[in-house]
Amino acid sequence: MGPVEVTQPTLAGMPRVRAPRPVKERAVAATLPVARVCVDVQPAHLDRLFDYLVPADLDDAARPGVRVKVRFGGQDADGYLLSRHESTEHDGRLAPLRRVVTGEPVLTPEVARLARVVADRYAGTLADVLRLAVPPRHARVEAEPHDEAVAPPPASVATAWAPYRGGPALLQHLLAGGRPRAVWTALPGPAGERWPDAIAQAVAACVLGGRGALVVAPDARDVDRVLRALTRVGLGAGSPGGAVRLTADEGPAARYRAFLAARRGAARVVVGTRASVFAPVADLGLVVLWEDGDPLHAEPRSPYPHAREVLALRADLAGCAALIGGFGRTVEAQRLLETGWAREVAADRAVVRERTARVRALTSTELAKEGPAAAARLPAPVFAAMRSALESGPVLVQVPRAGYVPVTACARCHAPARCAVCTGPLGVDAAGAVPSCRWCGRLATDWACRECGGRAMRSVRVGSGRTAEEVGRAFPGVPVRTSGARTSGGVLDTVPDRPAVVVATPGAEPVTDGGYAAAVLLDAAVATAGEGLAVEPDALRRWLAAAALVRPAAAGGQVLLVGDGAARPTQALVRWDPAGLAERELAERATLRLPPAVAMAAVTGPRQAVDLVVGRVAAPGLVVLGPVPAPGAAAALDPDVRTLLRVAPDAASALARSLAQSLAVRSARREGGALRAQVDPPEVL
């Protein structure tokens, strides 16, 4: 009896299903036929490399670092070819690579190693980190003609580092090919000696020594300031072998073009925002991070790495120099000093006094003699100082909050004004506008206080818009400009060096060439309010950033801090002593066993899901804190909870590894509930 063809019967009226086409066998590469691929898939239990066969027709194109398409889970998936081998440990039959997407090797071995270390450090997956490290492909940009790698032109190294202890030695080490690591407390200075100039000169020394450099800044404005300073030392964005700008706001084509310029060695210097921490700089000799306390350096996507920690890991892996700088000093940077990982670069007290403005703290005690006038938005001493300063130049007014009146309360009983529908806070967006809810957006046209029935409101927090209006009335005829993300003109980069009042929110202060004649830092109590660990260091950082834009005291510059802020950051500002505040903060956290003196992870989600994940975590000296209601959890029958996991710093790797394994088990078992696990959570209170 001959062979019988068996077919799947079909129901009447149903479309006939075609039989699958037979898979054509492809010849395999003669040498190194096994490709090890990182497949871009989400589940945590698939966080490993997979082996595929290299077809002979893809032998030349299938190089380490290229993008590939592979068959995974019954469908095509993206991936990166990391390496090729003669054999495999897989027992079954290997599937072939589907195709090589592009012959451009976009993932360097150094960046691949860094991505793996970062994934392990933050209990994440390699695929998640590579999504942050390598920008999306832009085929047209790949096809563009490009410059070959060239040696950069000679760059000048000037004297911006002369006022700092250890500054000249830092440059000499960089020029000689050394790898110094420093935490740098920057100071104001004249043109040519400001913080962008100092960074540019450090980069120039590194490039003159034959190596590349990477600079990471919080936002696009700071990136542009560094690029302009690099232009002044001969490493600008148009010079051969010079710098490229790598930021997300450039657009996909420009971003990918800058990425490829660094990958191909056509640019020896990369300047960008947090995504550039993974930039493929050739012969990396120096990594620089400006203002590591800025929240923009924290990645909001899984596995939530912080640029400071990534650059520290990269400096260790690449054996290169590292420079972490800012006007303030974070507790994390202070710990790098105390552990010996870095050394301090700072100025002596005499230089600090020479470079900085005179700072006065106008607290309620200082203003008591003013009587009822002390409660004014601009008390008499502030008004007099601003009027005097406006005779010689612009005046900066820093306001902690944007908007007009972002927070209101009942004028009779002072109870917070709440929305009648969702209980959200009410605020006012412009003069004469109807109060609206900050949560649901509804207009409070018929609002009445739930406590006393009053119908009149008072302002609790005054924003930059209302402040600019008040300043305009106080100084008629004086131009008033606003700078902020929510203002009509947006964030200003510079303002003319002539009399005017500039009202800005923190981080949006524009620069003026000659320096501000004075700065007024309003609402000190608001800036230091809150329960977070970083509230006081953050307030000091924002104040110092504004104060650094003011002329030195010898030129008449003064800074007025208005309000009853927390005592420690207030005194640190008056003394211009961010290091002292960071030292005391770190000592207190060590006593209280709080980060960064200890390592922590947070697991947030439904109670059952959190308990399952935490129950599988084991690490030396592990302390489990919680579960407690998650911060901001909505009132419900079963709100999300948060559990904190705490270990000593030397057990941090074990904690991250065990947490990652628990998440992999959760993924493999398909345990329910939306869960978030984060190593080094930004807030634990």
Integer angstrom CA distances of residue 470 from 70, 434, 467: 63, 19, 5
User: Please, are residues 500 and 479 in contact by the beta-carbon 8 Å criterion?
Assistant: yes
Q: Find the helix or strand (DSSP H, E) in which 644 lies.
A: strand 641-647
Each residue's pLDDT tens digit, 360-377? 999 888 887 777 666 677
Residue 471 has pLDDT above 60, yes or no: yes
Q: Are residues 348 and 363 in the same domain?
A: no
Residue 24 pLDDT level (bands cut at 50, 70, 90): low
What tokens were used for 40? Answer: 């871009």
Question: For residue 519, which amino acid is it?
Answer: A
Integer angstrom CA distances of residue 380 from 467, 475, 562, 603: 16, 13, 11, 50
Is 238 part of any domain?
yes
Is 465 part of any domain?
yes
Residue 151 pLDDT level (bands cut at 50, 70, 90): low
Residue 147: predicted pLDDT: 65
Q: In terms of DSSP H, where are the helices of 442-577?
A: 464-474, 524-527, 535-547, 567-575
Is 23 part of any domain?
no
Peptide bond into 595 cis (omega under 30): no
What tokens were used for 52? Answer: 């595929």
Q: Are residues 346 and 405 in the same domain?
A: no
Between CA 279 and CA 264 the distance in angstroms is: 12
Peptide bond into 196 cis (omega under 30): no
Is 404 part of any domain?
yes
Q: Are residues 444 and 468 in the same domain?
A: yes
Q: Are residues 606 and 521 in the same domain?
A: no
Residue 60 has pLDDT above 50, yes or no: yes
Residue 300 pLDDT level (bands cut at 50, 70, 90): very high
User: Please, are residues 385 and 427 in contact by the beta-carbon 8 Å criterion?
Assistant: no
Nearest to 232, CA basis, from 156, 341, 308, 303: 156
* HEC profile of 549-594: CECCHHHCCEEEEECCCCHHHHHHHHHCCHHHHHHHHHHHHHHHCC
Phi, psi of 97 (to 5 degrees): -60, 135
End-to-end C-alpha distance for the chain, whole angstroms: 79
Residue 18: predicted pLDDT: 47
Residue 3: predicted pLDDT: 43
What tokens were used for 439? Answer: 């949560």
Question: For residue 430, which amino acid is it?
Answer: A
* Mean pLDDT (whole number) for 182-203: 95
Residue 58 has pLDDT above 90, yes or no: yes
Strand order in the sheet with 321-326: 164-165, 343-347, 181-185, 321-326, 284-290, 212-216, 267-272, 241-246
Between CA 566 and CA 361 the distance in angstroms is: 11
Least confidently predicted of 66-75, 526-535, 586-595? 526-535
Residue 20 pLDDT level (bands cut at 50, 70, 90): very low
- Which residue, 588, 607, 623, sits at the end of a domain? 588
Residue 519: partners with Cβ closer than 8 Å, 6 or more residues away: 357, 395, 396, 397, 398, 546, 547, 549, 550, 558, 559, 560
Distance of CA 421 to the CA centre of its chain: 36
Residue 647: how many other CB atoms lie within 10 Å: 22
Residue 634: predicted pLDDT: 53
Residue 142 has pLDDT above 90, yes or no: no
Least confidently predicted of 302-306, 447-451, 544-548, 679-683? 447-451
8-state DSSP, 603: E
Between CA 205 and CA 201 the distance in angstroms is: 6
Residue 157 pLDDT level (bands cut at 50, 70, 90): low
Residue 82: how many other CB atoms lie within 10 Å: 19
Is 346 part of any domain?
yes
Residue 343 pLDDT level (bands cut at 50, 70, 90): very high
| Domain count across the chain | 4
Q: Are residues 654 and 529 in the same domain?
A: no
Nearest to 82, CA basis, from 119, 131, 116, 44: 116
Q: Are residues 61 and 93 in the same domain?
A: yes
Domain of residue 197, CATH code: 3.40.50.300
Domain of residue 42, CATH code: 3.40.1440
Phi, psi of 676 (to 5 degrees): -130, 120
Residue 153 pLDDT level (bands cut at 50, 70, 90): low
Residue 407 pLDDT level (bands cut at 50, 70, 90): confident
Phi, psi of 657 (to 5 degrees): -65, -45
Least confidently predicted of 254-263, 374-383, 445-454? 374-383
- Which residue, 81, 105, 129, sits at the end of a domain? 105
Residue 202 has pLDDT above 50, yes or no: yes
User: Please, are residues 170 and 135 in contact by the beta-carbon 8 Å criterion?
Assistant: no
Find the domain containing 411 and state its range: 357-588
Residue 326: predicted pLDDT: 97
Between CA 534 and CA 273 the distance in angstroms is: 22
Between CA 129 and CA 309 the distance in angstroms is: 14
* Mean pLDDT (whole number) for 153-169: 80
Between CA 584 and CA 602 the distance in angstroms is: 25
Between CA 373 and CA 385 the distance in angstroms is: 16
Dihedral angle, C-alpha 464, 467, 471, 477, nearest 10 ° = 50
Residue 154: partners with Cβ closer than 8 Å, 6 or more residues away: 208, 234
Residue 414 has pLDDT above 90, yes or no: no
- Which residue, 295, 320, 352, sits at the end of a domain? 352
Residue 110 has pLDDT above 60, yes or no: yes
Domain of residue 648, CATH code: 3.30.70
Hunting for tokens 């039959």 — which residue is that? 93
Residue 23 has pLDDT above 60, yes or no: no
Percent of the chain with pLDDT over 70: 93
- The chain-wide mean pLDDT, for the chain, equals 90
Each residue's pLDDT tens digit, 641-660? 999 999 999 999 999 999 99
Residue 55 has pLDDT above 70, yes or no: yes
Q: In terms of DSSP H, where are the helices of 109-248?
A: 109-121, 126-133, 139-143, 167-175, 195-208, 220-232
Residue 68: how many other CB atoms lie within 10 Å: 24
Is 344 part of any domain?
yes
Residue 606 has pLDDT above 60, yes or no: yes
Integer angstrom CA distances of residue 447 from 419, 457, 661: 8, 9, 53
Is 439 part of any domain?
yes
Q: Are residues 611 and 516 in the same domain?
A: no
Residue 57 has pLDDT above 90, yes or no: yes
Strand order in the sheet with 99-100: 50-53, 34-39, 75-85, 67-72, 99-100
Residue 161 has pLDDT above 90, yes or no: yes
Q: Are residues 308 and 366 in the same domain?
A: no
Q: Are residues 223 and 168 in the same domain?
A: yes
Residue 149 pLDDT level (bands cut at 50, 70, 90): low
Residue 674 has pLDDT above 70, yes or no: yes
Is 74 part of any domain?
yes
Q: Are residues 326 and 228 in the same domain?
A: yes
Distance of CA 77 to the CA centre of its chain: 30
Residue 5 pLDDT level (bands cut at 50, 70, 90): very low
Q: Are residues 429 and 311 in the same domain?
A: no
* Mean pLDDT (whole number) for 420-443: 82
Residue 602: partners with Cβ closer than 8 Å, 6 or more residues away: 642, 643, 644, 645, 676, 677, 678, 681, 684
* Mean pLDDT (whole number) for 22-27: 64
Q: Are residues 604 and 577 in the same domain?
A: no
Residue 31 has pLDDT above 90, yes or no: yes
Higher pLDDT, 443 or 350: 350
Q: Confirm whether pTM is higher than 0.85.
A: yes
